[in-house]
């Protein structure tokens, strides 16, 4: 996919201050590259619109529309990064971690979650259980959660992916209805009683995103690593 417009996620991953939105909202702080960890093909960053402390995003370094577009040669790296990020967030925040993605169509122009760079949300949040999520109804298809199955089920179309803390996965595929932008953010915001805070562009919290990054840095300073090939980026000034 060709990409000509500045991408805030690319800027944050690459350490480019010109379009790093978290840095722009913290002008009194020296610029730092707020990346939690990175592998050869993926990077984890704090969410600028956290629904809870530790809300993070796992992103491919390449600018693609969705994880359903990722090349199968990166599947092992993706699964390892997903496992590691969930494990660390579970430990750091003493909470189960919910995963979700709003996937764009491979050839579409509609941006399903306001950013056209694939990102998988990691949300540390006690409850709800898989069965308690009201959106998980007959429209959703359960699947084993593998990247290859995701590609096959999405088939180039828009989708919403959800993976419960116990690993159960399901997908809501576009049909005659149009999938709602930021749908899962709205769902979880309602669950935690913050219905007015679902739109990350309207209610960003750069300070909380910065704290999530600093908490990871403190973890790394303690001699911890996610895995041998992971690289911890940046260092906190305090």
Q: Is residue 9 part of a domain?
A: no
Enclosing domain of residue 142: 28-221
Token readout for 206 is 């750069």
pLDDT in tens, 130-176: 566 655 667 889 999 999 999 999 999 999 999 999 899 999 988 75
What pLDDT does 110 receive?
61
Could you tell me what percent of the chain has a pLDDT over 70? 82
Number of domains in the chain: 1
Comparing C-alpha atoms, which of 70, 116, 100 is closest to residue 161?
Answer: 100
Q: Is residue 3 part of a domain?
A: no
Q: Is residue 163 part of a domain?
A: yes
Q: Is residue 232 part of a domain?
A: no
**Exposed e or buried b per residue across 29-46, where buried means at least 16 C-beta atoms within 10 angstroms of its C-beta:** eeebbbbbbbbebbbbbb
What pLDDT does 233 receive?
45
Total-model pTM: 0.88
CATH label of the domain that carries residue 116:
3.30.428.10
Q: Is residue 105 part of a domain?
A: yes
């Amino acid at each position: 996919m060709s990409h000509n417009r500045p991408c805030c996620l690319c800027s944050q991953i690459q350490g480019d201050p010109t379009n790093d939105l978290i840095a722009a909202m913290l002008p009194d702080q020296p610029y730092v590259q707020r990346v939690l960890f990175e592998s050869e093909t993926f990077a984890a960053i704090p969410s600028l619109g956290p629904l809870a402390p530790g809300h993070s995003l796992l992103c491919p370094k390449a600018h693609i529309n969705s994880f359903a577009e990722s090349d199968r040669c990166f599947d092992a790296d993706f699964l390892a990064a997903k496992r590691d990020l969930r494990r660390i967030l579970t430990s750091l925040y003493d909470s189960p971690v919910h995963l979700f993605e709003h996937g764009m169509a491979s050839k579409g122009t509609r941006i399903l979650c306001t950013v056209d760079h694939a990102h998988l949300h990691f949300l540390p949040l006690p409850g709800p259980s898989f069965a308690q999520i009201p959106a998980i109804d007959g429209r959703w298809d359960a699947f084993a959660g593998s990247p290859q199955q995701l590609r096959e089920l999405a088939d180039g179309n828009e989708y919403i992916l959800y993976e419960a803390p116990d690993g159960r996965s399901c997908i809501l595929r576009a049909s005659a209805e149009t999938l709602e932008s930021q749908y899962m953010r709205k769902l979880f915001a309602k669950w935690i009683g913050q219905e007015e805070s679902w739109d990350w562009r309207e209610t960003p919290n750069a300070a909380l995103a910065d704290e999530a990054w600093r908490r990871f840095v403190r973890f790394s300073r303690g001699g911890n690593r996610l895995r041998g090939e992971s690289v911890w980026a940046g260092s906190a000034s305090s």
